[in-house]
Amino acid sequence: MTEWVPTFDYPAEDWLLLDVTVQDGAERAAQQVADRGGRQNKRYAKTLYPELKSAWQDRLVDGSEPAVVYVPPVRRNVEPLLPASIEARRTVPDFERTLAGAFEHASKPLDPPLTRVGEPEISTVQLPAGPACRAYGGLLSDTGYRGEQMPIEYVRHYVFAQEYPEEILLFAATWIPGTIDPGVVELVDRMAATLRFVPRGSGEGPRPVLAGPGARIVFDEVQIGKGLHPLAQQGFVTIDRDQGMLSLLDNDQRLIAGAPVREVSAWPIRASLSTTVGLEINGITYNAAPGRGSYPKAFTLPTDLMQGHSAADQLLQLIEENGGKRR
């Protein structure tokens, strides 16, 4: 008897397959990060590996197959280092196996440690894989890193496929807001439209063929200031490669300053051991220290300085690559 397994297409850039059908799925994903080139990415892969391994084990246990994770081109300075994932999982529903039952289930309050933010947007859609109930919303997780509540956004498709007469296929995407381009919602819907079922062992697996949601690079946990005046302790610097824009955002992701990258001048600030970047935007000078917001300690460790220097150098390099002036 044929066993049908789900598969889908995913973006070719910055998304990696966590293959639970092989024992070295996490190792293969880490190697892909290292293969991006340079010592920076080799260190990135080594730092990322424990989280990749944990994510791979979780998917193996809960039966998620296939699963992909987003590995930002620039390493995040706080955990989780993998801020987004998309996966498919067969499950026997604990609600009536109908669209109406899924609609009611998606509307229910959540159990701790999750708290819903607002009401989810719920609709029914027709996918090539079958009719589905689609839910999009936001959550707060009390089990977030650093003992804080962590905001999460999600899109879930409860798919009723004829291949699984007693089960549903849950196609689920979760991500941390601000860590990935806002076009991720549209990306998830495009991926859901590629859901299909293939015989196990056929060799037809997930295909990295889709265009990503956008080419926005995010530096997080950035201390931003203007002279001696602090503007953000845990702010963001974003570079939108499609639009050619650089933006400084405060802790709440509100715009501090922005300009086309080609009009921005940048330089390393030697007094900070090159862990801080000077930026001239619209004639005003700002200083930005990527990653420094994640270690507001009385004493700065050498490892912190190494990481900060690496992030600052990467920011300078990206500004120069995207048409900005490096002094």
Taking only the tens place, the pLDDT of each residue in 86-99 is 999 999 999 999 99
Residue among 130, 98, 132, 137 nearest 114 (CA): 137
User: Does position 181 have pLDDT exceeding 80, yes or no?
Assistant: no
pLDDT reported for residue 277: 94
Lowest mean pLDDT among 135-139, 226-230, 279-283: 226-230
User: Does position 64 have pLDDT exceeding 60, yes or no?
Assistant: yes
- Which residues are paired to 200 by β-bridges? none
Going by pLDDT thresholds of 50, 70 and 90, the confidence category of residue 174 is very high
Q: Where in the chain is the domain with CATH 3.40.1000?
A: 4-198
CATH architecture of 4-198: 3-Layer(aba) Sandwich (3.40)
Going by pLDDT thresholds of 50, 70 and 90, the confidence category of residue 297 is very low
Q: Could you give the CA distance from residue 209 to residue 14 in angstroms, rounded to a whole number?
A: 12
Q: Where in the chain is the domain with CATH 2.30.29.30?
A: 216-326
SS3 311: helix
User: Does position 298 have pLDDT exceeding 70, yes or no?
Assistant: no
Give the residue, 111 or 309, on which the prediction is more confident: 111
SS3 5: strand
Q: The tokens of 161 are what?
A: 């496929």
Q: What is the mean pLDDT of residues 212-220?
A: 75
pLDDT reported for residue 231: 94
Sign of the torsion formed by the C-alpha atoms of 306, 312, 315 and 321 = negative
- Which residues are paired to 280 by β-bridges? 265, 285
269: CB partners within 8 A, 6+ apart: 276, 277, 278, 287
pLDDT reported for residue 142: 75
User: Does position 103 have pLDDT exceeding 70, yes or no?
Assistant: yes
CB 61 within 8 A of CB 204: no
Mean pLDDT of the chain: 88
CB 293 within 8 A of CB 225: no
Q: What is the mean pLDDT of residues 233-250?
A: 88
Going by pLDDT thresholds of 50, 70 and 90, the confidence category of residue 227 is confident
Helix (H) or strand (E) holding 173: strand 168-175
Going by pLDDT thresholds of 50, 70 and 90, the confidence category of residue 38 is confident
Q: What is the mean pLDDT of residues 272-292?
A: 89
Name the range with the highest mean pLDDT among 208-212, 266-270, 295-299: 266-270
Residue among 36, 16, 74 nearest 236 (CA): 74
Name the range with the highest mean pLDDT among 7-11, 112-116, 214-218, 308-312: 7-11
pTM: 0.79
CB 95 within 8 A of CB 104: yes
User: Does position 296 have pLDDT exceeding 70, yes or no?
Assistant: no
Q: The tokens of 88 are what?
A: 């498919």
User: Does position 235 have pLDDT exceeding 50, yes or no?
Assistant: yes
pLDDT reported for residue 74: 85
User: Does position 165 have pLDDT exceeding 50, yes or no?
Assistant: yes
Ramachandran angles phi, psi of 25, nearest 5°: -60, -40
Find tokens 């120069």 and name the residue.
Answer: 320
User: Does position 37 have pLDDT exceeding 80, yes or no?
Assistant: yes
User: Does position 292 have pLDDT exceeding 80, yes or no?
Assistant: no
DSSP-assigned states of every residue in 100-153 = HHHHHHHHSPPPTTEEEEEEEEEEEEEETTEEEEEEEEEEEETT-GGGS-EEEE
pLDDT reported for residue 146: 56
CATH architecture of 216-326: Roll (2.30)
Going by pLDDT thresholds of 50, 70 and 90, the confidence category of residue 19 is very high
CA distances from 62 to 2, 66, 90, 115 (A): 22, 12, 9, 22
Q: Could you give the CA distance from residue 37 to residue 52 in angstroms, rounded to a whole number?
A: 19
User: Does position 164 have pLDDT exceeding 50, yes or no?
Assistant: yes
Helix (H) or strand (E) holding 33: helix 25-34
pLDDT reported for residue 218: 85
Q: In this structure, which long-range contacts are made by residues 198-203, counting pairs with CB atoms below 8 Å and at least 24 apart in sequence? A: 198/4, 198/5, 198/7, 199/2, 199/3, 199/4, 199/5, 200/2, 200/3, 200/4, 200/5
Going by pLDDT thresholds of 50, 70 and 90, the confidence category of residue 149 is confident
Residue among 221, 131, 121 nearest 176 (CA): 221
